[in-house]
Each structure stands twice: as structure tokens, then as C-alpha cells.
């Protein structure tokens, strides 16, 4: 790849899941890139459907790499893991906004820059708040199928041990405990979206449900429509409105949310914002370096310490794993999804919740933007 020269209009490409099992999140990422493109004004966005399929991604990614200046990764840890197997054949840095697996973030030093908090650190804040409870309780960790859930659960187990809690791991096929002799217990679910929904429904139907119940899937608004009862359930999100400092790089959160809502009729969840943040960081590094070579882009990213609308960005300069960004804990209320604090997690009425309503019944899902170029 060559120097930018006088060309300022960058082509940002991504293979995203516009159809298939990850479509609800891939569509949000595509809309997030469209909103960012409108606000940036000096970039094009090229999007192709990977159909939520590693095989389709393997066919799509090299073609997209040849068409664009900056290459964003796909959505989901599974697909990003598949992308890392192709990276060595591509003359690109891949800006990873969709795969938070610990192994994915460190798989390709020098060529994959990650935006997301790694899976092993997902539960830091939720577990920390459990350790701060006046009355401690055993923490059950229900992982799902696949390495992502195992990594989240393993990280939560390590953090809980360090904080003096009593973590208990449950595998994907294990049933929830039913006999606690009246003693309080807490539960963290870390699986695929549908696995977390089933776990939450099952836990709340028990004669003695958990005192505190958190699910990774509960961090997005579609969770509220998928479960029998969402009120009181905590979620873990990579981003939530009002949870991060003002951006010093790229568009402001308020502007992005306004454009996204205007074009889709809905508020963005974190998959949309993290995709936009990857575009912000990638184009910034290209414009600062004045060069699209892998070494120049990697050097610019490795030295960058900044805040985007998604939150802090700072990578490990050797591995490319994200070190600056942190997840946030959210909670479902009668009025929708809300940003939780340590006090509100303890059900204190003194701390107000910053709320984002869920999607209203009957509202159309946003349509994907037409592929550009």
C-alpha cells in the first residue's frame, strides 16, 4: 500500500453480517458506519454481506481488501477468529470492532488493532460490585458454547477469586442450581444471545431466583423483547449513552446518536458505536501517518492514546489488544435499559439511572445501507 499523497477521501471497507445469525448486530454495525460516514464527510464506506458464515467471509474479505484503503473486521468473535486466519495474506491492518475474544485480540500482532475490551475483562465491574455487597453471596458463572463464553467466565472466575468471592463454574450443558437452603446467590450468564435468554428465563422461574442476575446478552435492547421478564436484570455492554467522557477524536456521541436515530428510527446499541469507533481510529491513524502501509498504520495506532465516542482507546503496542477501554454495567428498568452504578446495583433509590428506552413494539427494524462503490 502507498502513501496517501493529496487524496483525503478514504475508502473504509467491511464484511458484515447483514443476514444470518448475527444479522441483528451486523446491521447495527453497518448503520453505525453509515452514520459515521455522514459525519466524517471525507470517507466512503463499502459494505458486503458475509452472511454470518466463516466460509462466506473467507470469500468476501480478500475482495473487500482489494477495494478499500482501510479494512474493518467482521462482527462476532467467531467470524473475527476466521478473519485472523486470512490476515497474513492481506496487505492490510485489520481494525477489529467485532471480536473481543482474548485469543482474537492477540492473534496477529502488527496487523490487527482491537477496539473492544477483551472477553477476559468483560465482567470486571459486575464482579467488583458483587464483592462490594454488604452481604456477599456465591457467584455462579454459566458459560455458553464456544470460546467467547469460556473466556468471559474464566476471567470472571479469576477476578472473583482475587476479590475473595466464591465463584462456581457451570458448563454449557449444566443445569442451574435449585437448592440453596434459602441462602442468596448471584448469577452471571456468558453465552450466545439465545443461550443467555434461555438461562435468564430459567433462572427467574426458579423457586429461589438469584439475588443479582447478569447476562452478556442483556446489554442490548433486543434482549428486552426476547425474555419473559427483563426488569432488574443486569447486562454488560461495551458502550452505553453517557457512560464515557467527551470524545477528543471523531464525532461527538450526541451527534452520532442523532444521525443514527434519524436514519434508522432507533437508538444505537454498542455494535453500531464500536464499528464507528473503529472507522474513527483507522482514518485518524491513516491521516496522521500520511501512509497506508501496515507499518505506518500500526505505528500510529500503537502510539495513540485518545477517547472516541466509544470511550478510551489505547492498545498494547506489541499485541494490539485493547487496554484502555472498559465495559459498562447496565440494568433493565420498567422504562427500558439504564446505566447502572454501584449504588443502583445495590438497589439504592438515591442514585438516578440514565435510561435508554427499549425498541417500541411494532417498530420496523432498520434496513442495511446499500453497498457503496
How do the domains of the chain map onto residue ranges?
10-117+243-313, 121-237+328-356
pLDDT tens, position by position, 296-323: 999 999 999 999 999 999 999 999 999 9
pLDDT tens, position by position, 271-301: 999 999 999 999 999 999 999 999 999 999 9
pTM for the whole structure:
0.84
> Which has more confidence, 302 or 146?
302
Mean pLDDT for all residues in the chain: 89
Q: Is the pLDDT of residue 236 over 60?
A: yes
Fold match flag (10-117+243-313 vs 121-237+328-356): yes
Q: Is the pLDDT of residue 146 over 60?
A: yes
Q: What is the mean pLDDT of residues 9-28?
A: 96
User: For 166-175, 206-215, 364-373, which range has the lowest pLDDT when averaged over its residues?
Assistant: 364-373
Residue 182's pLDDT is 87
CATH for 121-237+328-356 (1.10.3080.10, 3.40.50.720, 3.40.640.10, 3.40.50.2300): 3.40.50.2300
**pLDDT class of 367 with cuts at 50, 70, 90:** very low
Residue 2's pLDDT is 56
What is each CA distance from 191 to 199, 279, 306, in whole angstroms?
9, 28, 31
Extended beta strands in 191-265, E state: 212-215, 234-237
> What percent of the chain shows pLDDT beyond 70?
89
d(CA 322, CA 328): 15
pLDDT tens, position by position, 76-132: 999 999 999 999 899 899 999 999 999 999 999 999 999 999 999 999 999 999 999
CATH for 10-117+243-313 (3.40.640.10, 2.60.120.200, 3.40.50.2300, 3.40.50.10680): 3.40.50.2300
pLDDT tens, position by position, 326-366: 999 999 999 999 999 654 444 433 333 333 433 322 333 33
Residue 219's pLDDT is 92
Residue 345's pLDDT is 47
The contacts of residue 309 (CB under 8 Å, 6+ apart) are 244, 247, 250, 251, 252, 253, 256, 273, 276, 277, 280
Per-residue b/e over 7-19, b at no fewer than 16 CB within 10 Å?
Answer: eeebbbbbbbbbb
Residue 225's pLDDT is 94
What is each CA distance from 103 to 108, 225, 323, in whole angstroms?
10, 32, 14
Q: Is the pLDDT of residue 65 over 80?
A: yes
Name the nearest CA neighbour of 239 among 124, 328, 312: 328
Beta pairing, strands 234-237 & 186-190: unpaired
Report the Cα–Cα distance between both ends of the chain, in Å, rounded.
19
Answer whether 360's CB lies under 8 Å from 223's CB: no
Residue 188's pLDDT is 98
d(CA 260, CA 266): 7
- Cα R_g (the chain), whole angstroms: 20
Residue 4's pLDDT is 67
Helix (H, G, I), strand (E, B) or coil at 19: coil
d(CA 254, CA 277): 14
Amino acid at each position: 500500500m502507498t502513501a496517501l499523497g493529496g487524496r483525503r477521501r478514504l475508502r473504509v471497507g467491511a464484511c458484515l453480517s447483514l443476514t444470518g445469525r448475527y444479522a441483528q448486530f451486523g446491521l447495527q454495525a453497518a448503520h453505525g458506519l453509515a452514520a459515521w460516514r455522514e459525519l466524517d464527510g471525507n470517507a466512503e464506506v463499502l459494505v458486503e454481506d458475509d452472511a454470518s458464515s466463516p466460509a462466506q467471509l473467507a470469500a468476501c474479505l480478500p475482495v473487500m481488501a482489494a477495494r478499500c484503503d482501510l479494512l474493518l473486521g467482521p462482527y462476532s468473535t467467531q467470524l473475527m477468529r476466521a478473519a485472523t486466519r486470512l490476515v497474513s495474506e492481506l496487505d492490510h491492518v485489520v481494525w477489529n470492532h467485532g471480536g473481543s475474544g482474548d485469543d482474537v485480540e492477540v492473534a496477529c500482532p502488527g496487523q490487527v488493532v482491537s477496539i473492544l475490551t477483551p472477553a477476559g475483562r468483560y465482567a470486571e465491574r459486575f464482579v467488583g460490585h458483587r464483592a462490594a455487597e454488604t452481604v456477599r453471596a456465591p457467584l455462579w458463572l454459566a458459560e455458553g458454547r464456544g470460546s467467547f463464553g469460556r473466556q468471559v467466565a474464566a476471567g470472571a472466575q479469576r477476578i472473583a477469586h482475587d476479590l475473595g468471592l466464591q465463584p462456581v463454574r457451570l458448563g454449557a450443558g449444566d443445569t442451574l442450581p435449585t437448592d440453596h437452603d434459602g441462602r442468596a446467590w448471584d448469577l452471571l450468564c456468558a453465552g450466545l444471545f439465545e443461550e443467555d435468554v434461555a438461562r435468564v428465563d430459567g433462572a427467574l422461574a426458579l423457586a429461589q431466583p438469584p439475588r443479582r442476575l447478569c447476562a452478556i446478552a442483556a446489554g442490548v435492547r433486543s434482549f428486552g423483547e426476547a425474555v419473559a421478564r427483563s426488569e432488574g436484570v443486569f447486562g454488560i455492554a461495551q458502550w452505553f449513552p453517557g457512560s464515557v467522557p467527551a470524545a477528543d477524536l471523531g464525532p461527538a456521541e450526541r451527534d452520532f446518536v442523532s444521525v443514527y436515530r434519524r436514519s434508522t428510527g432507533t437508538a444505537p446499541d454498542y455494535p453500531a458505536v464500536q464499528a464507528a469507533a473503529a472507522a474513527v481510529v483507522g482514518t485518524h491513524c491513516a491521516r496522521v501517518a500520511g501512509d497506508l502501509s501496515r507499518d505506518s498504520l500500526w505505528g500510529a495506532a500503537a502510539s495513540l492514546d485518545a477517547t472516541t465516542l466509544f470511550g478510551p482507546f489505547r492498545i498494547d503496542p506489541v499485541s494490539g489488544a485493547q487496554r484502555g477501554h472498559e465495559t459498562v454495567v447496565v440494568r433493565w428498568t420498567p422504562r427500558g435499559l439504564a446505566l447502572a452504578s454501584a449504588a443502583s446495583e445495590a438497589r439504592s433509590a438515591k442514585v438516578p439511572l440514565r435510561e435508554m428506552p427499549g425498541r417500541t413494539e411494532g417498530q420496523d427494524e432498520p434496513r442495511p445501507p446499500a453497498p457503496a462503490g
